[in-house]
Structure 1
Amino acid sequence: MPLAQNISTMLVGYLLVMGILGLGLRILSRYPDERGRLARTAGRGVSRGWAGLIRQVVGTAVGGYVLLMIVLVGHYFGIAHLFGVAHLNGRVVASAVTGCAVLVAVVLPVFFIASWLVEWRRRGRGHGAGR
């Protein structure tokens, strides 16, 4: 792969990720807590319990999948065509869509369990501190 294509691919991916992270921080800064610090949640109507956890995990998975698809399709139709290496037909995009969907399906249960364990540990420490 040519050096210019490597650099441009990395730059596009970096800018997308940093843009999304910056947008997330901007959203969080709209809802500071009582001490003026950034809030832990994005809004006041965040549900708790299993429904909130499932909503957060699925939202994160869908957002990550969409971002990954934007990067892959953007690379294939944008950058790869500039350098003439996109002579493959549309099977590449179809394979990327289905492959990433399988990746999300495999990782989603692991991410859900890890998120639940983090919340369980965090709440366990909070209850123990008041005793």
Structure 2
Amino acid sequence: MSSIVHRPIHLALRPALTWIDTWQGPDNGLIRCWEIGRERAVKHPDIARRCLAGELPVLGWKGGVERTLKKREKFGSLKYLAQWQGLRGEDLQIDTSAELTLSCSRTGMVVTFTPDQSKYYNPQVEIED
């Protein structure tokens, strides 16, 4: 089974799917996150412009950055990356077996998007000094 989730930007959004088909299907919700990003780009072109400029704004998944933190590196969700690609108007292209590191053009924070949820899930509040 391929670890690449790909969907071209020219394809129409999918019709409503069941929760199970959307979030527990072979792509684990990445396509839906990307579609949400495409929808948000139309409703919020300012956010889409920020993403196109290389910013990593706060979205619904871990990975966005509001400001520069002491620790300038963090981990983020592949679901964030999928939504970000949709906001940018790009094809969905994610390797679910690999990490991808991006730097926010506004804050300089470095975010590594990872399939390993234990790297970005922290039950304690993140300290942002």
> TM-score w.r.t. structure 1 length?
0.25
Structure with greater helix share of residues? 1
- Bigger Rg, structure 1 or 2: 1
Structure with greater strand share of residues? 2
Q: Larger relative contact order (C-alpha < 8 A, sep ≥ 6)?
A: 2
